[in-house]
Every structure is written in structure tokens, then in C-alpha cells.
Amino acid sequence: MCLGLYIDEFNPFRSFVALYSYWQVILTIYILRPGMFIRLEFMFLSMVIPNLNSPGWNIDICLQPLINELMYLWSSRALTYDVSRKYNFNIKAALM
């Protein structure tokens, strides 16, 4: 499974003078047909990073748990259930 990672800043009150913001980290699946991976039902909010300032170069510290989980999914085979075909299979995940 190939995954795409999107990071975007979000200001909850739509004010440019607010002292804080949130960073949303979204994963999407790239093995879908073109145009489907940008639909909301195939985007997964994996974490929200609240911060008084922009994380800047320190964002890798916030993303480390997600990267560790993806490295685990790549190095070992995780048992996954396919709802449409109704059977279990082993999955590998890669971040593109």
C-alpha cells in the first residue's frame, strides 16, 4: 500500500492575528484510481499538532510516532481484514 502524507496549517478562528494554529497531518492511499485518492472518504486524519508557533524544522519530532508506525508496517507484515472480499491478508505500507 502506498500512502501520501499531507501537512497543512489550520487557524480555527480564521484570524491572521491569532497566536496559535493547528497543523493537520492527513494520509491518503495512492493505489486508487486517479481522482479517488483526493476524495474525503479516502483521506485519514492521522494527527493534529497544536502549537503556539509554527513547528518549522521541529515538525519531524511531532511526526516521529507516525513514521515509527509506518516503518513497523513496512518491516513486518500486519494482519488486515478486507471488508469487500471478507478475508484476512498481510499488508505492507510505504510512505511516498
Element (H, E) at 62: helix 59-75
> Three-state DSSP class for 14?
coil
pLDDT band of 61, cuts 50, 70, 90: confident
**Domain positions in the chain:** 2-95
Separation CA 58–CA 60 (nearest Å) = 5
For 78, what's the count of Cα atoms within 13 Å in the CB-facing half-sphere?
Answer: 15
What are the tens digits of pLDDT across the range 77-91? 778 888 888 999 887
Has this prediction a pTM greater than 0.75?
Answer: no
What are the tens digits of pLDDT across the range 5-24? 888 877 776 666 666 778 88
> Three-state DSSP class for 69?
helix
